[in-house]
Amino acid sequence: MSCSRVQVRVPASTSNLGPGFDCLGLALQIYNRITLTRDDNAKPPHGMIGETASAFFQRATGGKIAPFGFEARIEGEIPISRGLGSSVTVRLGVLMGLAELVRESFPITPEQVLTLLIELEGHPDNAVPSFHGGFAVCAHASADPADGFVYSRVPVKPELSFVTLVPDLKLSTETARGLLPKEVPFRHAVENAQRAARIAMAFATGDYAALQGMFVDHLHQPYRQVLIPGFADILASARQAGALGSFLSGAGSCLMALTLEREEEISTAMLDAAKRHGLPSHVLVLKADNEGVKVLESA
């Protein structure tokens, strides 16, 4: 018998990690819960939920499952438009929920869900870690964009903390991407590649001390910093307080510091710097999530 109600938990994510633009991402232990309840009398969903549902019925089922009505409820702690992958949690929650609702009549594999999620998002750096958990490195499968993406994923040890300054400031990904240049100096591209490679190796081996100083970026942060008052001062304050490094989370506005110790001192330093620049904020001290998306309830 098919279920009529499903609840899905999806972790937040941080992407880029400084120099790893559109290729590095990591899941965090802060979550949204998306509940779908089948209701044939429900009004058609709109916005992101409607777009995601339409793509599911057309592409995941190939039109073999007729669209049906449902109510969607989104609950959780992930701040919206702050660079913590909130849009991914909604899309992934809807896709997983719909897949569960049709599972008895039309099984859909997890990889099919992830592929469609990446297509809807346009890039994999938030999608893959929120789906699988842990730290992920993503890349185009070939020079042909039609071949999609490949990725590698490793778990993250609990000793690594993510001190996250959450400003009272929403930023859209479209606005942040609109500030990026079409070209960058060759030297800057090389330096970013070097640091991104070392970050990936540090996570793969669990040698987190090797992350020290590796979050300097030339591709996106210098252009996006104008959107956040005190940007450079806040990141520098975190490093001076003992962080391994600090960076803009995704497209922002969250600013994040990685550390193996001194979480309280780093939190205070970041808050004090934000206050100096008139940026109302609060801090979350997070750990990595290694479980990824989970169906919590299906009835």
Question: What CATH number does residue 258 fall under?
Answer: 3.30.70.890
Predicted local confidence at residue 147, as pLDDT: 85
- Can you give the pLDDT at residue 1? 46
Task: Count how many domains the chain has.
Answer: 2
- Kind and range of the H or E run holding 271: helix 263-276
Residue 57 CB burial class (10 angstroms; 0-12, 13-18, ≥19): middle
Structure tokens at 4: 């009529």
Query: 9 and 149: one domain?
Result: yes
Residues 142 and 171 in one domain: no
104 and 175 share a domain?
no
Question: Do 45 and 189 share a structural domain?
Answer: no
Are residues 210 and 72 located together in one domain of the fold?
no
pTM, whole model, 2 decimals? 0.94
pLDDT in tens, the chain (299 residues): 468 999 999 999 999 999 999 999 999 999 999 999 999 899 989 999 999 999 999 989 888 999 999 999 999 999 999 999 999 999 999 999 999 999 998 999 999 999 999 999 988 999 999 999 999 999 998 999 888 899 999 999 999 999 999 999 999 888 899 999 999 999 999 999 999 999 999 999 999 999 999 999 999 999 999 999 999 999 999 999 999 999 999 999 999 999 999 999 999 999 999 999 999 999 999 999 999 999 998 98
Straight-line distance from the first to the last Cα atom of the chain, in angstroms, rounded to the nearest whole number: 10
235 in the same domain as 205: yes
CATH code for position 54 = 3.30.230.10
Q: How many CA atoms lie within 13 A of 21 on its CB side?
A: 19
Asked whether residue 27 falls in the same domain as residue 84, the answer is yes
CA distance linking residue 274 with residue 254, whole number of Å: 11
Residue 36 pairs in a beta bridge with 6, 72
| Bridge partners for 153 per DSSP | 136
The pLDDT value given to residue 135: 98
Residue 151 identity: Y
Range of the domain at 60: 5-155+288-298
* pLDDT recorded at residue 288: 98
Q: Per the structure block, which two tokens stand in for 236?
A: 């520098």
